[in-house]
C-alpha cells in the first residue's frame, strides 16, 4: 500500500515528537557494530544500544540480526550529539515485574546463575532484576567459601519481592533440603541388609565412625570397626578414608554398618585347633575376684574359675597363682559364638599320669 502525503507527514510529526528518559519504545535493528547496535525507534535520531545494555543473559552477538525488533527503555537523549542511548535489558526489567510477581506467588522453582559474592550472600538476577541470596538461605548445610558458587547455577525460590523498591530475595535452602531428603530416601531404598558398599568416613566419635554411602550416613560402632581393642576410632581410621562396609541393619532410617571382616576373625583362626578336653599351656595375665585369666596364645584368653585353680580351698586367685606364671590347664568349655573359653587347672592335674602328677608336685620319679 502506497503512503499518502498525509501519512508521510504524520510519520514526520511522530519522529519529531519529544521522547523522555525511561520511555519504552520499539526498536528495529538497522546495523550491528563493534560497540553496539544501531536501531530505529520512530524518532528522528537513530538509537544506540551498547552491548552491555542488550541483555542480562549470556548471548552471542552473532545472533543479533538486522530487522530484529524488541522493546527498549530510553536512557539518554543527547540532541547536540545527535544520539539516543537506549537499553533492551532495562525494558525487559520493567516487563519482568509482572512475571516475577507471578513466580513469587506460585512459589516457582527457578534456576539462576550466580554473578558474584557480596557481604552476607550471593548476587544473581531474574529477568534482569538484581536478586540477593543471604548466607543463611543458600543451602541447608554450612557453606565455607561463597566464592565456590560464582559462575554456577543453582535452584532457588523467591522469598521476598518488593517491586517498588526492586527488592528481590531468593532462597535455595528449602530446595536443597528437599533434594537431599529425596536423594537420601532413594538411596535408602537401594541399600540392602547384608550387602557390601563403598563409603567415605565423614565423622569420628568416641563410640564409632559415620560413613557416607552416597547421600546416606551409617554408623560403625567401635566393636564393628576392628578386631583390635581400641579406645577411639582415630587409632585405626581418619576422616576421608574410603572403606568397604557391610550393612548390619536398617531401623527407622538408622543404618548400622560393619567394617571388620567377620570371615577373618583372629579369635576364630587362633582357636581352630583347640578342642574341649585339650590340655594347654597358658600364662596368667589378670586376676579377678572370681578367678584368673590366662593367655593361651595371641588374642586368645581363657578363664580359670577360682573353684578350678587349686584342689585346696582358696579365697582369691593370688593365693595359688602369680602374674606371668605358666600353668597347664584343661579346656573345659569353648563358646565359639561368644568367644569364651573355660579352663581348669584341677582337671588338667586329674588328666595327668601318676608320673606327671609327681613331677608337677616336685617329687622325684622312681
Express as a percent the part of the chain with pLDDT over 70.
91
Average confidence (pLDDT) over 338-360: 73
What contacts 214, CB < 8 A, 6 or more positions away? 187, 199
Q: Which pLDDT value is given to residue 11?
A: 52
Q: What is the largest CA-CA distance in the chain?
A: 151
Distance, CA of 279 to CA of 345 (rounded, Å): 9
* CA end-to-end span of the chain: 144
pLDDT band at 22 (very low <50, low <70, confident <90, very high): confident
Under a CB-based contact definition with an 8 Å cutoff, are residues 155 and 84 in contact? no
Q: Which pLDDT value is given to residue 198?
A: 94
Domains of the chain and any CATH numbers:
23-91 (2.40.50.140), 107-176 (2.40.50.140), 191-264 (2.40.50.140), 270-360 (2.40.50.140)
| Helix H or strand E segment including 15 | helix 5-16
Q: Which pLDDT value is given to residue 252?
A: 77
Is residue 56 scored above 50 in pLDDT?
yes
Distance, CA of 76 to CA of 68 (rounded, Å): 22
Is residue 365 scored above 50 in pLDDT?
no
Q: Are strands 279-288 and 291-297 parallel, antiparallel or unpaired?
A: antiparallel
Q: Are strands 254-258 and 217-221 parallel, antiparallel or unpaired?
A: parallel
Under a CB-based contact definition with an 8 Å cutoff, are residues 137 and 120 in contact? no
The cell numbers describing 132, all together, are 540477593
Residue-wise pLDDT tens digits, 129-176: 889 999 999 999 888 899 999 999 999 999 999 988 889 999 999 999
Nearest 5 degrees, angle CA 29-CA 25-CA 129? 95
**More confident call, 98 vs 105:** 105
Give the chain's mean pLDDT: 87
Q: Which pLDDT value is given to residue 78?
A: 82
Under a CB-based contact definition with an 8 Å cutoff, are residues 138 and 66 in contact? no
Is residue 358 scored above 90 in pLDDT?
no
Is residue 108 scored above 90 in pLDDT?
yes
Residue-wise pLDDT tens digits, 170-220: 999 999 999 888 888 889 889 999 999 999 999 999 999 999 998 899 999
Give the global pTM.
0.50
Cα dihedral 147/153/159/160 (nearest 10): 70
**More confident call, 133 vs 55:** 133
Q: Are strands 47-50 and 83-87 parallel, antiparallel or unpaired?
A: parallel
Residue with cell 527407622: 252
Three-class SS of 89-143: HHHHHHHHHHHHHHHHHHCCCEEEECCEEECCEEEEEECCEEEEEEHHHCCCCCC
Q: Which pLDDT value is given to residue 360?
A: 45
The cell numbers describing 101, all together, are 510477581
Distance, CA of 303 to CA of 287 (rounded, Å): 10
pLDDT band at 354 (very low <50, low <70, confident <90, very high): low
What contacts 191, CB < 8 A, 6 or more positions away? 197, 213, 216, 247, 250, 255
Q: Which pLDDT value is given to residue 33?
A: 93
Q: For residue 29, which of 70, 67, 60 has the smallest C-alpha distance?
A: 67
Surface-to-core class of residue 150, CB atoms within 10 Å of its CB (0-12 exposed, 13-18 middle, 19+ buried): middle
DSSP bridge pairs for 156: 110
* Residue 255: HSE in the Cβ half-sphere, 13 Å Cα cutoff: 28
Is residue 296 scored above 60 in pLDDT?
yes
Amino acid at each position: 500500500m502506497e503512503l499518502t502525503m498525509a501519512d508521510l507527514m504524520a510519520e514526520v510529526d511522530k519522529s519529531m515528537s519529544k521522547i523522555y528518559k525511561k520511555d519504552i519504545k520499539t526498536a528495529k535493528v538497522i546495523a550491528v557494530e563493534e560497540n553496539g547496535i544501531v536501531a530505529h525507534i520512530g524518532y528522528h535520531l537513530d538509537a544506540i544500544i551498547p552491548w552491555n545494555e542488550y541483555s542480562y543473559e549470556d548471548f552471542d552477538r552473532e545472533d543479533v540480526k538486522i530487522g530484529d525488533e524488541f522493546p527498549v527503555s530510553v536512557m539518554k537523549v543527547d540532541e547536540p550529539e545527535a544520539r539516543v542511548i537506549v537499553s533492551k535489558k532495562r525494558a525487559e526489567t520493567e516487563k519482568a515485574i509482572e512475571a516475577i510477581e507471578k513466580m513469587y506467588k506460585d512459589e516457582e522453582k527457578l534456576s539462576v546463575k550466580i554473578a558474584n559474592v557480596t557481604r552476607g550472600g550471593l548476587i544473581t538476577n531474574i529477568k534482569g532484576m538484581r536478586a540477593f541470596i543471604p548466607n543463611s538461605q543458600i543451602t541447608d548445610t554450612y557453606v565455607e567459601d561463597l566464592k565456590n558458587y560464582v559462575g554456577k547455577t543453582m535452584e532457588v525460590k523467591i522469598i521476598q519481592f518488593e517491586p517498588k523498591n526492586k527488592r528481590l530475595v531468593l532462597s535455595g535452602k528449602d530446595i536443597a533440603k528437599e533434594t537431599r531428603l529425596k536423594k537420601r530416601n532413594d538411596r535408602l531404598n537401594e541399600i540392602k541388609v547384608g550387602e557390601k558398599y563403598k563409603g567415605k568416613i565423614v565423622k569420628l566419635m568416641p563410640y564409632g565412625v559415620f560413613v557416607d554411602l552416597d547421600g546416606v550416613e551409617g554408623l560403625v560402632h567401635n566393636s564393628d570397626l576392628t578386631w583390635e581393642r581400641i579406645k577411639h576410632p582415630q587409632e585405626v581410621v581418619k576422616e576421608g578414608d574410603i572403606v568397604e562396609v557391610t550393612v548390619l541393619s536398617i531401623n527407622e532410617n538408622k543404618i548400622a554398618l560393619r567394617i571388620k571382616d567377620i570371615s577373618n576373625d583372629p579369635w576364630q583362626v587362633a582357636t581352630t585347633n583347640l578342642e574341649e578336653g585339650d590340655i594347654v599351656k597358658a600364662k596368667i595375665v589378670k586376676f579377678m575376684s572370681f578367678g584368673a585369666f590366662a593367655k593361651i596364645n595371641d588374642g586368645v584368653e581363657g578363664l580359670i574359675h577360682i573353684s578350678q585353680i587349686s584342689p585346696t580351698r582358696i579365697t582369691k586367685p593370688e593365693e595359688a597363682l602369680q602374674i606371668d606364671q605358666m600353668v597347664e590347664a584343661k579346656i573345659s568349655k569353648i563358646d565359639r559364638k561368644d568367644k569364651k573359653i573355660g579352663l581348669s587347672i584341677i582337671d588338667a592335674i586329674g588328666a595327668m599320669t601318676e608320673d606327671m602328677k609327681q613331677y608337677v608336685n616336685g617329687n622325684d620319679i622312681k
